Amino acid sequence: MTKALKSPVGRFLIESGLQEVVFRLAGVPLFLFGLMYTMGYKTKVSATVLLFLLILITLAAQTGTYELAGGFFKNIALAGILIFFILNDKTLTNKNEGF
């Protein structure tokens, strides 16, 4: 909650009373699509949804001050990984194939 107070979007969510609802609603898809992504089921779809949620959470909680830059750059790294899997959604069908 203290991170959200330092973010302009987070302050808006707190002042409008929507922060609790938004963060609770984000938890269910994060869990479900994270599980799908980990299991390798519908990787492109799950990575796309996770990237969308990551962008929303980053805007809501980790923008605004330099104190939050560590989490912001961590989220940029996670976004890069998700974009990689969105663009390279290939499954290996032959055991002799390499990466």
- Which residues lie below 8 Å from residue 42, measured CB to CB, with a gap of 6+? 36
Q: Which burial class, exposed, middle or buried, applies to 97 when counting CB atoms under 10 A from its CB (0-12, 13-18, 19+)?
A: exposed
pTM for this entry:
0.65
Which pLDDT belongs to residue 88?
A: 85
Which pLDDT belongs to residue 92?
A: 47
Residue type, 76: I
Tens digit of pLDDT per residue, the chain (99 long)? 555 556 666 666 667 776 667 677 778 888 999 898 888 888 889 999 999 988 877 776 665 566 656 677 888 888 998 899 889 866 544 555 555
Of 70, 42, 5, 1, residue with least CA distance to 50: 42
Between CA 27 and CA 33, with CA 31 as vertex, the angle to 5 degrees is: 115
Spans of all domains in the chain: 2-87
Which pLDDT belongs to residue 51?
A: 92
